[in-house]
Structure 1
């Protein structure tokens, strides 16, 4: 125990009493309090009283600390009993539902990520739902992931689920098991080193992509025959390489008309059972600004004027959203609609249809073949890493490298 006299700038005297209550490991447990003498007390009385206060404080501190340790011990025992109970009764399904509820309440996870988790529940619960979390082994999880890649699991194609989809399922299981570890239901997650079922080369679909000639043909037909909104939408995909959800999430406040710049701030998505919803861009790098060609800027201005006229005609039925792409009453356009519209349009006009993402592949491939560096293309596409761009568009990168090396060779060999 120590007593330290203190004098403030105003001349007021106080005493700091510090008591040691022992050690926890290398850390000393210290309790302290300040005592101020009453006015008019003599130095002798102050000395006697401060010593008395110090003794009283030490006794009380030791008693309080002993009671605190007892409460902690009882709580640890209770917690241990609770944990043991949960280990014996908590199934994967019950903990997974608890985990999903927590994510929805905390708003820390993207809406699209939560919806993807929910879409994994049916198959996962069918295989792992009744298994106790404390008994869930690496072998059981590996068998589940392997089963997803077997022929017939994908009801649409008759094949197994793709490796990418298998990884979504493992992410769901892994997140729940990490939560189980935080809850002290398991010591280590059994989800490490899981092997995925590779797709058969015959089952793989070749990446759809528009050639330059095809892109010109499709856009020419659209510019000639489509309404302004559809003309703008497909031209945005073909000129800027936007993802479908990024284009549908655009609002007029995202357009800098003076500097011809659009900014990606949100996405508009669709999920079966949940309908259309707004979310954040796919990755941190997906927040980006892109140049708008004069042709696109004029389309945007024209569309804005047309929508104002439509809003007046709709009156109270019009729902203001500030979105560029809306339904007849102003509501954000359904993300499924542009695909179906273009598919029908191409069939009617007898022109190539490769889907919407093919425009994005076209932009990336054309830029790389034309010699734009991979880092710039990656930033334009909103990829999280340049390596992603290089992996997806390896063929285009090789083409650009071959052309560059042939150019150098030609210069070296010229007379």
Structure 2
């Protein structure tokens, strides 16, 4: 029920109770009304009643929100929604995003944040933001992640009946020229392979299996020996190995439903896996009760699942030792995709092999590779049908003077 209070300056205050906020305190909304000059007391009373009814209806429809600050409500979102519905890795990543979001808009009331406020934050991040680790400018993808987090919080407020509009819908993230992915060249891969014999067997297996399979790092580290079918030379991807500071190393499901897949492997890789299994078995027997049997392929010295950072650190050091530029552990996956594409494998098959949920993801990630492959296909067709270039080409008739000279030469010869 709305209440009306007259102020000394000739204005009126309309107050409507809007229930309780996320902190458990009662929330009231206020609206001021100033009568037009010349209105009679009866007209003012009638108009005040009308304004009070309209204001109360607006509050009931949720068009007026409680005065909760963005940071406070976002923390409530983390507790009520994110912790329950998001993967631990996604939850941890969202928490990291608050380091930039809260200083920018965390102090603002949820109902006072406009699309311009969020647009300014996003634009400033792209123009002036720097990566905390590398010092390089922030990418468009980083801006998309921050905007997505803010949008998720606003969407939750709408579901809770606190808002009716998400200002993030009107925010524009400028497109940037997509950097070409760093991929090892075949010469670099050859050098990686030639020097590999001096490395521990588990890293030999990791590098070659990563190139041949194109698995994500989390999928590689999630492999267990029961996933290896030595009889049919196939490997099943059924889980991932993840890490957060809060949970440590833990087992999770695959990224998407289609990430669960089966890969056929060459005999050379399967033989290397057999050798690796035998070596691991010998190590486990030597350690005895100190060995923790998790059935994982890639482990620490005592059988515990390997830390996700370990393959990264090994590959970086290995590249430095043999003089090959380090291009990130994920570039091995890109290398696998590029080899498939340049061998003429169609996009649907590449997408399935990479475990992408939709073909569009594959096209977006490797569009320039498919374009280059398409250009090569055009050249291949032209070369195969080169004989068609002669069609429609007539031999030019010899010039009359040339004919006369040729006739004279024939006569002399006789």
Sort the TM-score into its range (normalised by shorter chain).
0.7 to 0.9
> 1:159-184 deviations in whole A, cap 9, x for unaligned?
43211011111111111111100111
In 2, are the aligned partners of 1:209 and 1:361 still within 8 Å (CA)? yes
Cα 1:131–1:122 shift into 2, 3 Å: same
Task: Give the Å deviation of 1:300.
Answer: 2.0
Q: Distance in 2 between matches of 1:105 and 1:369?
A: 43
Of 27, 30, 33 in structure 2, the residue corresponding to residue 85 of structure 1 is 27
Partner residue in 1 for 2:188: 214
Q: Secondary structure at the match of 2:249?
A: strand
Among candidates 126, 134, 149, match of residue 103 of structure 2: 126
Query: Secondary structure of the equivalent of 1:85?
Result: strand
Q: Deviations over 1:290-343 (max 9, x none)?
A: 112212222222222222222222233222211110010111111111121122
Count matched residues.
333
| 1:212, distance to aligned residue in structure 2 (A) | 2.3
Equivalent pair of 2:17/2:27 in contact (CA under 8 Å): no
Partner of 1:136 in structure 2? 113
Q: Deviations over 1:359-415 (max 9, x none)?
A: 212111111111111110111011222222223222321232222222222233327
User: 1:38-187 maps to which residues of 2 (within 5 A)?
Assistant: 80-82=18-20, 85=27, 87-103=65-81, 106=84, 108-187=85-164
Question: What do the CA deviations read for 1:337-364 (whole angstroms, capped 9, x no partner)?
Answer: 1121122122222234322222212111
CA RMSD of aligned residues (A): 2.4
Q: C-alpha distance in 1, partners of 2:213/2:344?
A: 17
Partner of 1:267: 240
- 1:355 to 1:138, Cα distance in 2 relative to 1, 3 A: same
CA distance in 2, matches of 1:79, 1:152: 42
Partner Cα distance (2:259, 2:76) in 1: 31
1:265–1:103: structure 2 CA closer, same or farther, 3 Å change rule? farther
Secondary structure at the residue paired with 1:191? Answer: helix
Please give the TM-score of this superposition, normalised by the length of structure 2.
0.74
Equivalent residue, structure 2, for 1:336? 309
Contact 1:91 1:129 in 2 (8 A): yes
Tell me the alpha carbon deviations over residues 175-194 of structure 1, each in whole angstroms, 9 at most, x when there is no partner: 11111001111111111031
Checking the alignment, whether the CA contact within 8 Å between 2:233 and 2:264 is kept in structure 1 is: yes
Report if the CA contact (8 A) 2:213-2:263 is conserved.
yes
TM-score (normalised: structure 1): 0.74
Are the aligned partners of 2:66 and 2:162 in contact in 1 as well (CA < 8 Å)?
no
Distance 1:160 1:212, change over 3 A: closer
Offset, 1:104: 5.2
Q: Where in structure 2 are there 5+ consecutive unaligned residues?
A: 1-15, 29-64, 389-414
SS at match of 2:377: helix
**CA drift at 1:158:** 3.2
Distance 1:213 1:153 in 2: 33
SS at match of 1:103: helix
Mark the CA change 1:102 to 1:298 in structure 2 (over 3 Å): closer, same or farther: farther
Within the alignment, does 1:301 sit opposite 2:274 as a pair?
yes
Partner SS for 1:262: strand
